Structure 1
Amino acid sequence: MKAVLFDLDGTLIDTAADFIRIIQDMCREEGREIVSAELIRTQVSEGARAMVQLVYPELDSTDPIFLAHRQRFLDTYGENIAVDTDLFQHMPALLAQLEAHNIPWGIVTNKPRGLSESLLQALNLTERCAVLVCPEDVRHTKPDPEPMYLAAQQLSLDATEIIYVGDHPRDIDAGRNAQMYSILAAYGYLPLAHKDDLAAWQADCIIHSVPELQQQLQSLLKLN
Structure 2
Amino acid sequence: MKKLVIFDLDGTLLNTIRDLGTATNYALEVCGYPVHDLESYPYFVGNGVSRLLERVLPEDTRTPANVERLRIKFMDYYGKHNTDSTEPYAGIPELLETLQKLGVNVAVASNKYQSAVDKLIYHYFGGIRWSDVEGQRDEVPVKPDPSIVFSILSKVPTPKDDVLYVGDSGVDMETARRACVESVGVTWGFRPESELRKYGADHIIHRPVELLSLLESSKFFSQEPVNDI
Taking structure 1 as the reference length, the TM-score comes to 0.83
Aligned twin of 1:90: 91
Counterpart pick for 1:198 among 192, 196, 199? 196
Pair 33,177 (structure 1): closer, same or farther in 2 beyond 3 Å: closer
Q: Give the secondary structure class of the aligned counterpart of 2:161.
A: helix
Checking the alignment, whether the CA contact within 8 Å between 1:120 and 1:126 is kept in structure 2 is no
Q: Which runs of 4+ in 1 moved over 6 A?
A: none
The answer as to 2:105 corresponding to 1:111 is no
Aligned twin of 2:79: 78
| RMSD (Å) for aligned C-alpha atoms | 2.7
Checking the alignment, whether the CA contact within 8 Å between 2:13 and 2:92 is kept in structure 1 is yes
Q: Which amino acid aligns with 2:12?
A: T
Per-residue deviation, residues 5-61 of structure 1 (Å, max 9, x unmatched): 101111111111211222344566577655222101222213334443465314533
Aligned twin of 2:37: 36
Checking the alignment, whether the CA contact within 8 Å between 2:111 and 2:142 is kept in structure 1 is yes
Deviation at 1:141, TM superposition (A): 3.5
Select the structure that is richer in strand. 2
Pair 214,138 (structure 1): closer, same or farther in 2 beyond 3 Å: farther
The answer as to 2:46 corresponding to 1:52 is no
Q: Give the secondary structure class of the aligned counterpart of 2:142.
A: coil
Taking structure 2 as the reference length, the TM-score comes to 0.81
User: Percent of aligned positions with the same letter in both sequences?
Assistant: 26
Structure 2 unaligned regions, length at least 5:
218-229
Pair 38,75 (structure 1): closer, same or farther in 2 beyond 3 Å: same
Per-residue deviation, residues 57-97 of structure 1 (Å, max 9, x unmatched): 14533342342122201221012221111211111111111
C-alpha distance in 2 between matches for 1:23 and 1:87: 21
Aligned twin of 1:157: 158
Aligned twin of 1:219: 213
Q: Give the secondary structure class of the aligned counterpart of 1:134.
A: strand
Pair 101,10 (structure 1): closer, same or farther in 2 beyond 3 Å: same
C-alpha distance in 1 between matches for 2:75 and 2:193: 26
Checking the alignment, whether the CA contact within 8 Å between 1:28 and 1:34 is kept in structure 2 is yes
Checking the alignment, whether the CA contact within 8 Å between 1:61 and 1:67 is kept in structure 2 is no
Checking the alignment, whether the CA contact within 8 Å between 1:48 and 1:74 is kept in structure 2 is no
C-alpha distance in 2 between matches for 1:31 and 1:62: 15
